[in-house]
């Protein structure tokens, strides 16, 4: 089984999720998404798998969210996705992909449902 984690090593929940996977003998493909953000197609696929809108996957407390006025409800999903691609810090973390499914590791145990 291939497992991928979109990971931020500075985030405690992301580290805990990675440790949880590893404690179960799973060595996931680790994508440090702040350095290697997903492309538009991949981000749209992740959103579809999570069954979330772009706004649902955004970290709304980030400074860039406020500065870019991303709380504007009239912004289209495409504009929100473009903002996430330009500023990957806006993407909620960690995201784990496995078995054609996706889960956000908040709390880390959420990812067990897709393994």
Which one of the listed residues 1, 4, 11, 113 is annotated catalytic? Answer: 11
List the 3-7 sheet strands across, edge first. Answer: 29-32, 3-7, 95-98, 101-104
- What span, in angstroms and rounded, lies between the C-alpha atoms of 41 and 46? 9
For residue 108, which phi and psi values (nearest 5 degrees)?
Answer: -55, -35
Bond from prior residue into 6 cis (ω within 30 degrees of 0): no
Is 11 labeled as catalytic in the residue annotation? yes
Burial classification of residue 19, based on how many CB atoms lie within 10 Å of its CB (0-12 exposed, 13-18 middle, 19 or more buried): exposed
Report the catalytic residues: 11
């Amino acid at each position: 089984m291939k497992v991928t984690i979109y990971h931020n090593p500075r985030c405690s929940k992301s580290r805990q999720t990675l440790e949880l996977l590893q404690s179960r003998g799973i060595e996931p493909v680790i994508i440090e998404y702040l350095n290697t953000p997903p492309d538009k197609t991949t981000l749209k696929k992740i959103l579809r798998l999570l069954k979330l809108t772009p706004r649902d996957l955004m970290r709304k407390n980030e400074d860039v969210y406020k500065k870019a006025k991303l709380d504007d409800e009239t912004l289209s999903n495409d504009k929100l996705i473009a903002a996430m691609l330009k500023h990957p810090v806006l993407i909620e973390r960690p995201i784990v992909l496995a078995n054609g499914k996706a889960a956000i590791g908040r709390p880390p145990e959420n990812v067990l449902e897709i393994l």
